[in-house]
A = this chain, B = another copy of it.
Amino acid sequence: MGHHGNEFRLATKAPDRAVSSAQPEPAPGLKVARTRGSSRSVERGLVRRMLGALGRPPIEVELWDGALIVGSASASPVARVTIHRRSTLWRLVARPMLHFGDAYSAGELDVRGDLIGLLEVIYRHREAASVPPSRGRLGLSRLASRARSNTLRGSRANIHAHYDIGNDFYQLWLDRDLVYTCAYFPTPELSLEDAQFAKMELVCRKLRLKPGEAVVEAGCGWGALALHMAKHHGIYVKAYNISHEQITFARERARREELDDRVEFIEDDYRRARGRFDVFVSVGMLEHVGPDHYRELGATIDRCLTPDGRGLLHSIGQDYPAELNPWIRRRIFPGAYPPSLREMLGVLEPWKFTVLDVENLRQHYALTLRHWLERFESTREQTRGMFDERFVRMWRLYLSGSIAAFDSGALQLFQVLFNRHGLRDVPWTRAEFHIG
């Protein structure tokens, strides 16, 4: 199996030769006061200890005085991390997962070579060393992030923080339909546009949409799937989203495409959905719901579906319960939690839904993200103009880290197809919804 998306390897890929020969990465506009004076032996020792704890990966760490600490003497390094300030090193020692991201964004730390490769090394190691957390430990950790809880009000703040930063920005690097979820590539060579279309078709075929049916969508982004269902399958859609910017854009698009008689975009929480529908669909919202609210979500689905209703949940997930990377959770997706498949089924089981089919699209998300990162890098000057260099670096790290997470298996992507218990009319085999 050679389909690991190597065709899409980006410029951040490490050169075959030693990293030390690579050019330093430019960080225009970020003025970082670098520490003068020599590193102390205790500081070099700390770096050696961190690299040891990571299993001696093929990484080099350079300190502010040029001191170089090599993770692995045998393997050629994938990347060199340069730490420009003493205070950064000490913060990194205290909470590496959180402060690596902050220091990188601030330019207190630079990476030359293969950024994704570096992050994958870190993810894979963390996985190998960790044991699944006990319920107790995870519970405490969740308690600590209570401030980020996904109540009606908390969700609004959490979603606003990520999705309302400007449609112009997302238009720079998403596909033309602004689909900000995992695409489906029947073959890896497909364009991002075609792969997002294929994903929407896959969802529609799994749900076996019939013209004239009514669908409720929870968390509709910029409206691409809702409009696709209306346009290509003759469906009536009520689509909920609490992001003001997204809903405004989606409504405008519905009017422009003359689909506003069939698609209603509602700026409200999924929990307030009203009416009865043939189909419930949610693509990329469950990550923002949080396990404490799965019962509410299940109750909403149960309330909204007709007696012969069906549905699909599409969500980033994990192989076992574990908190999201703390930097991502704090700086990128407040309140987010990717469930294990077992946890995800907690939405459906109390309401006796039948699980018809589960597909894991992990590799498709890694490839989707490679497309996004490539487009993001090619338009970074415009992003810098809209925001600043810190923002550019933060988003580069977030997209690269997400590729590393899906490549390493730290994250998964589950599509769960379900219907009411005991239905007679279900697909005989998958041939009915296969694509590609």
Q: In the bound complex, do residue B1 and residue A426 qualify as a contact, i.e. CB atoms below 8 Å apart? A: yes
Known A-B contacts A354-B412, A428-B3, A431-B186; A320 and B341 likewise in contact (beta carbons under 8 Å)? no
- By a CB distance below 8 angstroms, the chain B residues around A3 are 428
Contact with B along A332-369 (1 / 0, CB 8 A): 00000000111001100110111111111011000000
A275 CB–B CB distance under 8 Å: no
Q: Which of A290-328 contact B (CB under 8 A)?
A: 319-321
- By a CB distance below 8 angstroms, the chain B residues around A428 are 1, 3, 185, 187-188, 363
- By a CB distance below 8 angstroms, the chain B residues around A358 are 355, 357-358
- By a CB distance below 8 angstroms, the chain B residues around A421 are 127, 319, 409
| Nearest B residue to A420, CB-CB | B409
Q: In the bound complex, do residue B425 and residue A436 qualify as a contact, i.e. CB atoms below 8 Å apart? A: no
- By a CB distance below 8 angstroms, the chain B residues around A363 are 426, 428
Q: In the bound complex, do residue A360 and residue B352 qualify as a contact, i.e. CB atoms below 8 Å apart? A: no
A176 CB–B CB distance under 8 Å: no
A52 CB–B CB distance under 8 Å: no
Q: Which of A60-98 contact B (CB under 8 A)?
A: none
Known A-B contacts A341-B345, A355-B358, A357-B359; A422 and B409 likewise in contact (beta carbons under 8 Å)? yes
* Shortest CB distance A392–B (Å): 30
Q: In the bound complex, do residue A350 and residue B132 qualify as a contact, i.e. CB atoms below 8 Å apart? A: yes
Q: In the bound complex, do residue A342 and residue B346 qualify as a contact, i.e. CB atoms below 8 Å apart? A: yes
Q: In the bound complex, do residue B127 and residue A186 qualify as a contact, i.e. CB atoms below 8 Å apart? A: no
- By a CB distance below 8 angstroms, the chain B residues around A320 are 349-350, 352
Q: In the bound complex, do residue A424 and residue B349 qualify as a contact, i.e. CB atoms below 8 Å apart? A: no
C-alpha spacing A345/B188, complex, angstroms: 30
Q: In the bound complex, do residue B350 and residue A354 qualify as a contact, i.e. CB atoms below 8 Å apart? A: no
Known A-B contacts A342-B345, A349-B342; A429 and B436 likewise in contact (beta carbons under 8 Å)? yes
Q: How many residues of A contact B (CB 8 A)?
A: 50
A17 CB–B CB distance under 8 Å: no
C-alpha spacing A340/B351, complex, angstroms: 13
* Shortest CB distance A309–B (Å): 14
A271 CB–B CB distance under 8 Å: no
Q: Which of A377-436 contact B (CB under 8 A)?
A: 407-410, 412, 414, 421-431, 434, 436
Most buried by B among A186, A354, A430: A354
Known A-B contacts A127-B421, A346-B342, A428-B3; A352 and B434 likewise in contact (beta carbons under 8 Å)? no
A137 CB–B CB distance under 8 Å: no
Q: In the bound complex, do residue A4 and residue B353 qualify as a contact, i.e. CB atoms below 8 Å apart? A: no
- By a CB distance below 8 angstroms, the chain B residues around A186 are 429, 431
| Nearest B residue to A202, CB-CB | B429
* Shortest CB distance A38–B (Å): 40
A44 CB–B CB distance under 8 Å: no
- By a CB distance below 8 angstroms, the chain B residues around A354 are 319, 360, 362, 409, 412
A124 CB–B CB distance under 8 Å: yes
Known A-B contacts A319-B354, A422-B127; A359 and B409 likewise in contact (beta carbons under 8 Å)? no
C-alpha spacing A7/B205, complex, angstroms: 26
Known A-B contacts A132-B350, A342-B349, A436-B429; A424 and B4 likewise in contact (beta carbons under 8 Å)? yes
C-alpha spacing A202/B410, complex, angstroms: 28
C-alpha spacing A292/B341, complex, angstroms: 20
Most buried by B among A341, A357, A414, A430: A341
C-alpha spacing A327/B128, complex, angstroms: 47
C-alpha spacing A127/B351, complex, angstroms: 12
Additional A-B contact list (4), CB under 8 Å, known A127-B352, A132-B350, A358-B358: A124-B422, A185-B428, A187-B428, A320-B352
25 chain-A/chain-B pairs, Cβ below 8 angstroms: A1-B427, A3-B428, A124-B422, A127-B352, A132-B350, A188-B428, A319-B352, A319-B353, A320-B350, A341-B345, A341-B349, A342-B342, A342-B345, A342-B346, A345-B345, A354-B360, A354-B362, A355-B412, A357-B359, A357-B360, A359-B430, A408-B422, A430-B430, A430-B434, A431-B434
